[in-house]
Amino acid sequence: MHRRDFIALVGGAALSVSRDARAQPVKVPTIGILGAGAESSWAASISAFRQRLGELGWIDGRTVTIVIRWAEGRSDRFAEIATEFVQQNVDVILTAGSAIPAVKQATSTIPVVFAVAVDPLASGFVASLARPGGNITGLSLQSSEMVAKRIALLREIIPGLARLAVLANAGYLGAAHESATAEAAARQFGLDVAILDIRSTSDLAPSIESLRGKAGALYICQDSFVVTNVVRINRLARDAGVATMWGARAFCEADGFVSYGADESDLFRRAGDYVDKILKGAKPADIPVEQPTKIELIFNLRTARILNLNIPPNLLALAHDVFE
* Among 245, 258, 243, 251, CA closest to 308: 243
- How, if at all, do strands 295-300 and 258-262 pair? antiparallel
Position 12 confidence tier, pLDDT thresholds 50, 70, 90 = low
Q: What is the dihedral of CA 196, 200, 206, 210, to 10 degrees?
A: 10
Which DSSP letter does residue 28 get?
P
Instruction: Classify each residue of 16-52 as buried b or exposed e, where b means 16 or more C-beta atoms within 10 Å of its C-beta.
Output: eeeeeeeeeeeeebbbbbbbbbbeebbeebbebbbeb
pLDDT at 7 over 50: no
First to last CA, the chain: 88
Tell me the per-residue pLDDT of 127-184, one tens digit each, with 9 for 90 and over.
999 999 999 999 998 777 799 999 999 999 998 999 999 999 988 888 888 999 999 9
pLDDT at 3 over 60: no
Tell me the per-residue pLDDT of 274-296, one tens digit each, with 9 for 90 and over.
999 999 999 999 999 999 999 99
pLDDT of 227 reads 86
Query: What is the pLDDT of the chain when averaged over all its residues?
Result: 91
- Mean pLDDT computed over 18-39: 78
- Do 246 and 261 contact (CB within 8 A), yes or no? yes
Domains of the chain are: 30-140+264-293 (3.40.50.2300), 143-262+296-323 (3.40.50.2300)
CA distance 163 to 312: 20
Tell me the per-residue pLDDT of 69-91, one tens digit each, with 9 for 90 and over.
999 988 889 999 999 999 999 99
Tell me the per-residue pLDDT of 218-270, one tens digit each, with 9 for 90 and over.
999 988 888 889 999 999 999 999 999 999 998 999 999 999 999 999 999 99
- Do 98 and 225 contact (CB within 8 A), yes or no? yes
pLDDT of 6 reads 46
pLDDT of 324 reads 85
Which DSSP letter does residue 257 get?
S
Name the phi and psi angles at 287, rounded to 5.
Answer: -105, 110
CA 78 to chain centre: 14
Tell me the per-residue pLDDT of 198-228, one tens digit each, with 9 for 90 and over.
988 999 999 999 999 999 999 999 888 888 8
